[in-house]
Amino acid sequence: MSRTPWLLARRHVVTHWIRTGLTLGSMAVSLFVDLPRDCQAKVAGVDEVAQVCKFQWFGGYYQDRSNFFGQFGVDPELFFEMYAKDLKIVEGPADRAPDETVHQASVRAMLADRRSTVVGSRLAKDFGWKVGDTVQIIPTIFQKVDGSAWDFLVVGIYEPLRSNVDDRTMWLRYDYLQEGLDAGTVTGPRGVGTFSVNLKPGADAAAAIDAIFENGPQRPRTTTEAAFQAAFVSMMGNVPLFVATIGGAVVFAVFFSVINTMLMAGRQRVHEVGILKALGFANSVIGRLMLGEAVVLGLVGGGLGILLAIGTESGMRAMLGTFLPNYAVQPFTLVWAAGLALLVGLVSGIAPALTLVRLRPTEAMRAEA
């Protein structure tokens, strides 16, 4: 007959609550960009600047969160003029004037209706969208007060003219968003995430533009489009890897933190283990106790993390919406997290358990209590 005094493990976890609390800690990171709309006029006032166009990340999804693609609110006339060498609208409205190109007809149609959108060819193909269709995009950032989705009217389908232009982007009218924000029917950031600037030939306006904001609350960074795009694509393209890397590093750090905690706990238990052994508790019981304590720590920590993940899911989605509109805590992730917590607990308990099991009772009791 050899029962395990689990009360001891429970009492240790509770008694050493500071240690337990610190072991269970975690952290979070967030990023925001929101420039005032009037920046556009200020930037346009810089001598070297030819054109300035708004670029506002919309961050919605089509039907399902997994249908993730870029949507930007822009000043359509400026945008299609500035990017005439980058993309070309190849399908447009049927009511085209005899002297109009498809591209021109689409831009005209876009200017005529605030709900208009021009979409990339692969996006249209993926979702079966055609010119004239009304598509519903579910917002993650620009929520409508009545909870409804946004309707967009497809007036054109573009093809990239350069290899670095994405064919899965949806271009919207920024003033469509602005109208809702100003009327109070839409909530979301009232500023603009990015301004695209077209410079006069040979000009380098980065320093001049940054100087405008030098003493303001916002400190935007002016960079070339290539650098911006590289950073953006790199960020978006590597999000899973990025998250996995951070997650892996955190798990690694937590793992060693728990191991360290358990080794420390093991050292603190030496005298107590000597007493238990003297009383007649077998080594298997001592091992179970130590492993049990480590597993309890791991599972409680993992459980708190899981509750935190569930509890903050919607908040995190709103916060990360600009970058990760499809952020969701999947059941599989929770199961995986629980399994990992169990594993971390088990593995971290092995070393101290083995150390304690190997101790002779008299040797252990000589250790300081």
Beta bridge partners of 53: 196
Q: What is the nearest approach in angstroms of other proteins to the Cβ of residue 228?
A: 58
Q: What is the nearest approach in angstroms of other proteins to the Cβ of residue 273?
A: 10
CB 53 within 8 A of CB 121: no
Tokens in use for 55?
A: 């670029």
Tokens in use for 300?
A: 């409680």
Q: What is the nearest approach in angstroms of other proteins to the Cβ of residue 245?
A: 40
Q: What is the nearest approach in angstroms of other proteins to the Cβ of residue 292?
A: 14
The yes or no reply on residue 275 touching other proteins (CB under 8 A) is yes
**According to CB under 8 A, which residues from 1 to 20 bind other proteins?**
1-5, 7-8, 11-12, 15
The yes or no reply on residue 221 touching other proteins (CB under 8 A) is no
Angle, CA 204 vertex, CA 198 and CA 207 arms, to 5°: 105
Q: What is the nearest approach in angstroms of other proteins to the Cβ of residue 17?
A: 12
Tokens in use for 296?
A: 């309890």
Among 54, 277, 288, 317, binds other proteins (CB under 8 A): 277
Cβ closest to other proteins, residue 120 vs residue 287: 287
Cβ closest to other proteins, residue 294 vs residue 320: 294
Q: What is the nearest approach in angstroms of other proteins to the Cβ of residue 344?
A: 24
**According to CB under 8 A, which residues from 307 to 366 bind other proteins?**
360-362, 365
Among 276, 306, 316, 344, binds other proteins (CB under 8 A): 276
Strands 143-144 and 186-187, how do they pair? antiparallel
Cβ closest to other proteins, residue 285 vs residue 291: 285
The yes or no reply on residue 283 touching other proteins (CB under 8 A) is yes
Report CA torsion sign: 81, 87, 88, 91. Answer: negative
Tell me which DSSP letter residue 146 carries: T
**According to CB under 8 A, which residues from 21 to 40 bind other proteins?**
none
Q: What is the nearest approach in angstroms of other proteins to the Cβ of residue 8?
A: 7
Q: Which of 351, 343, 350 is nearest to 301 (CA)?
A: 343
Tell me which DSSP letter residue 74 carries: E
Length of the chain: 369
Q: What is the nearest approach in angstroms of other proteins to the Cβ of residue 319?
A: 42
The yes or no reply on residue 272 touching other proteins (CB under 8 A) is yes
Q: Which of 13, 10, 8 is nearest to 276 (CA)?
A: 8
Q: How far is CA 132 from CA 92, 170, 253, in A?
A: 9, 15, 53
Tokens in use for 115?
A: 């709900």
Pick the piece of the chain touching other proteins (CB under 8 A) from 60-68, 217-225, 266-274, 304-312: 266-274
Q: How many residues bind other proteins (CB under 8 A)?
A: 28
The yes or no reply on residue 270 touching other proteins (CB under 8 A) is no
The yes or no reply on residue 239 touching other proteins (CB under 8 A) is no
The yes or no reply on residue 278 touching other proteins (CB under 8 A) is yes
Tell me how far apart the alpha carbons of residues 347 and 326 are, in angstroms, rounded to a whole number.
Answer: 34
* Burial group, residue 331, by CB count within 10 angstroms (0-12, 13-18, 19+): exposed
Angle, CA 223 vertex, CA 245 and CA 181 arms, to 5°: 85
Which residues are at the interface with other proteins (CB under 8 A)? Answer: 1-5, 7-8, 11-12, 15, 271-272, 274-284, 360-362, 365, 369
